[in-house]
Structure 1
Amino acid sequence: FYAAKNFKEYTVQLRNSRNIYLEVYVGNVQPNEKKDKGIDDLLSNTLKKEPEKLKEDIDTLINERSLTGKYIQLHKITTWSDGKLLELWSLHNSTEFALRHKAILKELPEFRIGKHRWRFTETGEIESAQPIETDEQFWEEIEKFDREGNARTEYKFRYERCFRFLQNRGFSRYQKPDGEYDYIHTEHPFVRTVYKTEDIRDFVKDFTREIANEEVLEMLHRGGPQFLGPEKLSNLRKVEPQFEHSQRDRQLFYFSDSYWEVKRDSIVAKGYDSITHQIWEDQRNDTPVTRTEPLINVTRSDDGHFTYTLSKSGKEAHFLQFLINTSNYTWRKEKSKKLIDADELQENTDHLIAKLCAIGYMMMSAKDRSVSRAVVAMDGKQSEVGLSNGRSGKSILGEMFKQVLPTISVNGKYKEIDSDNFLWDELDVKTKVVFIDDVRTNFPVEFLFTNITGDWSVNYKGNRRATFPFHQSPKIYITTNHALNGDGSSYNDRLWKIAFSDYYNDTHKPIDDFGTLFFDDWDFEQWNLLWNLLAECVQLYLQFGVVQAPSDRIENRQLRQFMGEEFIGWAEEYFSNDLHVDTRLPRKEVYDAFLEYAPEQRRWTSATIFKKKVIKFCEWKGFLFNPQKYDPVTGQCMFFDA
């Protein structure tokens, strides 16, 4: 119906804008011995050896008044209204539609047309599968007589019965963490938020059209919001859905017709008839899936080194290949056919496994305070402070989370990000991921620590507040083209760092490798492979836990950012002088030398900060800073510092 409707409207636009007049036809294949349903079936079965007959049939019937041919039946819909077009498929009336498809529908215990359930009786009659009970009938028929003694019927709306009718069909109120209420509709196991009272009113009217006379419907039209407006619907019962209590040893993925239970050693598809808890309808991904062969097999040796192999399906999975490419730091050597040593290849592998495990962690609903972290995607390529190595694929990972999990996005360059009282205004009870994209240099990551490891407090606009308990609060994914400042256990225990190579850059993008835009242009196969990959990522996380990316690149980038390019330029020059190494250097003398080189730094670099930068420079260069200098026995100097 919609395809025909939209195409007909398109031809109207051509007529109005370009004076192009087209006749529009809709057709169907005539019943035949081989039971062909569409043109493809007709050409591959009945007309397999003589396809030219299809054209001959169309050329003939197009001039027939009935538009009926031997193989095809056409309908000229150029001037049809939408209502008449609905009649073509019997979509204008539930009973007509059910009778048209009776042969199939009578075999079902019950079936849904629109918002109403129906069934065929043993005698072949259609009846409602949602009969309205006496205490649910929301109208009362009152017999009255006029002055002449003629009987007439008046209809009165019964509020309590209507509330009971709605509640028995899954409508209720749900109290949010901020104390406000949402209307919800529950049809086990799915819970759907009803954002507009008009939707509830329409449900009542649609139901009435199927079971009552027109006078009852007229009563509802006249009453409108008076009967079923926000004030009256606030009398609906308040309920607390029985949502899943997330478990640390498994994760459930919900799809259109089944769900997966993912454990460390198994991925099992199950039907919704086996589910005992309830879920938000938003959690269900409207895509069918099938389990493929395992995409990737990962092992870890006794010395902690990872190895992996890919299956045929793994090699075909675009997103897995994308992650492999973003973990490739030897691509330049591969391109120029230079020798790559084993340590370099091992680094590539370790970066990949860190990403896969981090993705598995983000996909897990269960939270554990002992491993609660924000995943931070950084550039692995070394560059000067302030220079950006964007386009490496970090944000594509964030976009993937937005595709598969309820996610809110925050602009990482927002200067008042740590002081905006309403920063989390979009966060609600369904949110699973907060994606902070492209944070600026010197991003104050510490302000997130409370949210990472504890409850999450939110100020909403309109003087509303809510606190999401730790086990219900979302996880955080951060992307940055710079290093995040900070060190120490409190810093390291709250961040899970993953690094992206510059395999993808300004001149080389994923579409160059895969020939299609991620997500928007994917077909079923790639979506199916993605979900299989995500399930295996959960398994890898359950098996290996937190796997940090190799630290050398990340730490060097962090050291460089802490020191700053001006300090590095001075230090490289100052300590290249042999008189300034392997000897004692008075702190003031060194500090003054730096200020002479960069006098404007006096305002920003105190003597204390300067000392910290010298220590970081020594760490960066592999120097020793203030080691124990003298052997207590010989009195000889054992170590030298910068």
Structure 2
Amino acid sequence: MTNQAQQLSGTAQEVQKVPLDNPESFDINLTTESTQDWNFYTIRTTDSGNFIDMKIANILKFFEIKGFRRLKMPNGGYELVKIHKNSILIFSDTADMMETVRKQLIEIDRQPEVWEAFMERNYLTSQVDNAMERIKEVKLNQATKTHSYFFFENGVVEVTKDKTKMIPYENYHGYIFEDQMIKHPFEIQHFVNNDNAMFDAFLQNVTNNDSKRYDYLTSSLGYLMHTYKDKTLTRAVILVDEEIDFEGGAEGGTGKTLITEAVSYLVKSAVKDGRALVTGGNRFFYQDIDLSHRLMIIDDISSDTHFEKFFSVVTGGMTVEKKGKQSFSIPFDLSPKLLITSNYMVNGAGGNSEERRKIEIEISPYYRSRSIKEEFGCSFFGDWDAKEWNLFYNKMITYCQKFLKHSIMYSEPINLVENKLISETDFSFVEFMDSNVSLDEEKTELKAEKAEFFKAYKEKHPLESKQLTINMFKKWCGKYAIVRNYDIEHQKSNSKSYLKISVKLKPEKET
């Protein structure tokens, strides 16, 4: 497969159906019928022997009936493809065209002399290539706001909020690429009480068997699997640990990567090492992203990676730069959704605009003290039999249905707000503030000279505050007040600056 062809390969894409010449009259993957109806060769018998005549136009027609087309690529130019089952595009080359002719002439028509003549005269020239029918308009995402599609070996699964049904590829109103298919025969399964997929039990464990947290996680996975891009819901899903050790470093090991792997079995995904995305940026970080990818997974990003780096990817299209090659743009409706995992909090500039772009899900530390194999008796994915795979795919599709029916089912955070505060300031600062502020109904406010308060923190925590300025300290105090639900004021009196933190006044009841 050429580089351009690789740009459109993947799992779970479609292209707009282009009408074929009288498609009802033949099967594009024919291997058993004679070519006589296509008449791309004739044999004349004379006194001098047999003469074989072939016409370029008829040879071209033969290849088009066999499903060969030229597909327009995003970077310009065309790639040779072959249509199978009226919907599946297989990237091809001249060797495949030669093999198609050989099978027809040797195995079906039993005309070895014609095959010899075909090889001698080299009919696969640029003339045939240039004249072949083109597929110019390519629609790569058939999903709509209400319909999602998954492509299995034995058919297309159409999913709505209330229904799942199988469509034969011959009846599917779109194209997909051969390697976009999920390599598994799928059977629709209706769950009963004693039917439970291992992966679903795993998700219940990592949400601490809390139904609201479970719905939040599974509906978010459904959002990621639904390939429709909605401008009113542009968010990155971020998986973080519920418990973070800020003093000894983040531990991980909670199953976040296993969740990303599961989604990638249903949606064509580009998996990126988050540690390779350095703070200074890497213009070629996205160079292996192409139009086939519906999900970009950035696994294990570092603590100094800010969310602003991904903002444009979440809210709009993206530009892909490749080393030594022309860059190209992926429009919003075809750009991949974003799934991030981190052992740290994913910080940014803050504000409502940023928060509206995040779906932050806390993963319980359940599997830090036990292994998947110990609990389930096997490793996930690699040790599963056909029955467990089918349970897994069916269950994942129910998460997509949950999203189509309810959208994102948000739940209240566990430690997220506190962990964000510590991550955006410092553990020592939060500890210092809690010790010195500690407001309640009796002590309703703290007023301190800002410079003296700052000095007190630096003296108690000289190492942690080494690079801290008084302006940054002021911002940290503001973040602290928001999380603790306090009011904060910065006052000046007699050329001195004061910090006033107070308990929020309860609104008076209307009379």
TM-score interval, normalised by the smaller of the two chains: 0.7 to 0.9
Map residues 143-162 of structure 1 onto 2, 5 A cutoff.
151=48, 158-162=55-59
Per-residue deviation at 1:562? 0.9
1:398 aligns with 260
Q: C-alpha offsets along residues 343-399 of structure 1, whole Å, 9 cap, x if unaligned?
A: xx7xx2221111110111111121211112111111111421662231211111111
RMSD: 3.5
CA distance in 2, matches of 1:592, 1:523: 64
Query: Tell me, what secondary structure is at the counterpart of 1:435?
Result: strand
1:233 equivalenced with 2:124 (yes/no): no
Shift of 1:152: 5.5
Aligned partners of 1:256 and 1:285 also within 8 Å: yes
Q: Does structure 1 conserve the Cα–Cα contact (< 8 Å) formed by 2:236 and 2:338?
A: yes
Q: Distance in 1 between matches of 2:169 and 2:162?
A: 22
Q: Are 2:182 and 1:285 aligned?
A: yes
Name the structure 2 match of 1:480: 342
Unaligned stretches of 5+ residues in structure 2: 1-24, 492-499, 505-511
Task: Say if 1:438 and 1:466 are closer, same or farther in 2 by CA, change over 3 A.
Answer: same
Aligned residues: 467
Aligned-pair distance for 1:166? 1.3
Q: Equivalents in 2 of 1:294, 1:359: separation in Å?
A: 19
2:96 is the counterpart of 1:213: no
Distance 1:131 1:482, change over 3 A: farther
Match of 1:327 in 2: 207
What does 1:64-79 align with in structure 2 at a 5 Å threshold?
Answer: none
Q: Secondary structure at the match of 1:218?
A: helix
The AA in structure 1 aligned to 2:31 is R
Q: Does the 8 A contact of 2:30 with 2:66 survive in 1?
A: no
Q: Which residue of 2 aligns with 1:312?
A: 194
Aligned amino acid, residue 214 of structure 2: L
Whole-Å separation in 1 of the counterparts to 2:140 and 2:427: 52
User: Contact (CA 8 Å) 2:286, 2:320: kept in 1 or not?
Assistant: yes
Larger deviation, residues 413-422 vs 594-603? 594-603
Q: Verify: 1:169 aligned to 2:66, yes or no.
A: yes
Name which one, 1 or 2, has greater alpha-carbon Rg: 1
Equivalent residue letter for 2:265: Q
Superimposed CA distance per residue, residues 154-197 of structure 1 (whole angstroms, 9 cap, x where no aligned partner) = 76775443333212221111112222432221234423231544
Separation of aligned partners in 1, 2:112 and 2:428: 82
Inter-partner Cα distance in structure 1 for 2:70 and 2:153? 25
Separation in structure 2 between the aligned mates of residue 162 and residue 385 of structure 1, nearest angstrom: 73
Instruction: Name the counterpart of 1:387.
Output: 249
Cα deviation digits, residues 316-344 of structure 1 (max 9, x gap): 3101101001111xxxxxxxxxxxxxxxx
- Secondary structure of the structure 2 residue equivalent to 1:467: strand
The TM-score normalised by the length of structure 2 is 0.80
Deviations 1:455-487 (CA, angstroms, capped at 9, x unpaired):
222223442232222112211111111101132
For 1:421 and 1:215, locate their aligned partners in 2 and report how far apart those are by CA, in whole Å. Answer: 57
Q: Distance in 2 between matches of 1:462 and 1:318?
A: 45
Contact preservation (8 Å) 1:197, 1:230:
no
Instruction: Indicate how the Cα distance of structure 1 residues 559 and 386 shifts in structure 2: closer, same or farther if over 3 A, else same.
Output: farther
Where does 1:202-601 land on structure 2 (aligned, <5 Å)? 202-210=99-107, 211-221=109-119, 227-228=123-124, 233-239=129-135, 240=137, 245-294=142-191, 311-313=193-195, 316-328=196-208, 348-384=210-246, 387-416=249-278, 419-486=281-348, 487-505=350-368, 507-568=369-430, 571=433, 582-597=445-460
What is the SS of the residue equivalent to 1:443? coil
What amino acid maps onto 2:87 in structure 1? F
User: Matches of residues 624-635 of structure 1 in structure 2 within 5 Å?
Assistant: 624-626=487-489
Partner of 2:494: none
Specify the alignment match of 1:56 in structure 2: none
Match of 2:38 in 1: 133
Partner of residue 613, structure 1: 476
Amino acid at match of 1:171: F
Does 2:117 match 1:117? no
Check the 8 A contact 2:486/2:501 in 1, yes or no.
no
Q: Per-residue deviation at 1:235?
A: 4.3
1:116, 1:130 within 8 Å by CA — same for their partners in 2? no
Shift of 1:524: 1.7
| SS of residue in 1 equivalent to 2:402 | helix
CA contact (8 A) 2:86 2:169 kept: yes
Where does structure 1 lack aligned partners over 5 or more consecutive residues? 1-108, 119-127, 145-149, 296-310, 329-344, 629-636
Determine helix, strand or coil for the equivalent of 2:186. Answer: coil
Per-residue CA distance 1:198-217 (angstroms, 9 max, x = gap): 33332233323222533333
Cα gap change, 1:385 to 1:472, in 2 (>3 Å) = farther
CA contact (8 A) 1:184 1:191 kept: no
Distance in structure 2 (CA, Å) of the matches to 1:156 and 1:361: 58
Which AA in structure 1 matches 2:228?
A
Alpha-carbon contact 2:140-2:292 (below 8 Å) kept: no
Structure 2 vs 1, CA of residues 604 and 158 (structure 1 numbering), >3 Å: closer, same or farther? farther
The one-letter code matched in structure 2 to 1:312 is: N
Change (3 A) 1:227 1:567: farther
1:247-275 alpha-carbon deviations (Å, 9 max, x no partner): 11121233333333322222233444543
* Cα-to-partner distance string for 1:409-446 (whole Å, 9 max, x where unaligned): 11101143773222222222221111111111022221
- Alignment-mate amino acid for residue 177 of structure 1: P
1:268 is paired with a residue of what secondary structure?
strand
What TM-score results when the alignment is normalised by the length of structure 1? 0.65
Whether the aligned pair in 2 keeps the contact of 1:385 and 1:561 (CA below 8 Å) is no
Q: CA deviation at 1:531?
A: 1.9
Residue identity in the other structure for 1:396: L
Task: Name the CA distance, whole Å, in 2 between partners of 1:183 and 1:456.
Answer: 27
**Residues 439 and 478, structure 1, Cα contact 8 Å, conserved in 2:** yes
Name the CA distance, whole Å, in 1 between partners of 2:305 and 2:410.
21
Moved more, 507-516 or 601-610: 601-610
Give the residue type in structure 1 aligned to 2:154: D
In 2, the alpha carbon distance for the partners of 1:614 and 1:480 equals 26
Contact 1:595-1:602 within 8 A present in 2 as well: yes
Quick check: 2:246–2:427 contact (8 Å CA) kept in 1?
A: yes
CA contact (8 A) 2:237 2:340 kept: yes
Name the SS for the 1:282 alignment partner.
Answer: helix
Mapped partners of 1:220, 1:418: distance in 2: 58
Cα distance in 2 between the residues matched to 1:420 and 1:229:
43
Residues 222/553 of structure 1: CA separation in 2 closer, same or farther (3 Å cut) = farther
- The separation in 2 between residues aligned to 1:418 and 1:542, in whole angstroms, is 38
**Cα distance in 2 for residues equivalent to 1:256 and 1:531:** 13
Residue 183 of structure 1 corresponds to which residue in structure 2? Answer: 80
Structure 1 CA distance, aligned partners of 2:43 and 2:466? 85
Q: Is the alpha carbon distance of 1:194 and 1:279 closer, same or farther for their aligned partners in structure 2, counting shifts above 3 Å?
A: closer
Name the SS for the 1:422 alignment partner.
Answer: coil
Which of the pair is proportionally richer in helix? 1
The aligned amino acid for 2:270 is: I
SS of residue matched to 2:447: coil
Higher RCO structure, 1 or 2 (CA under 8 Å, sep 6+): 2
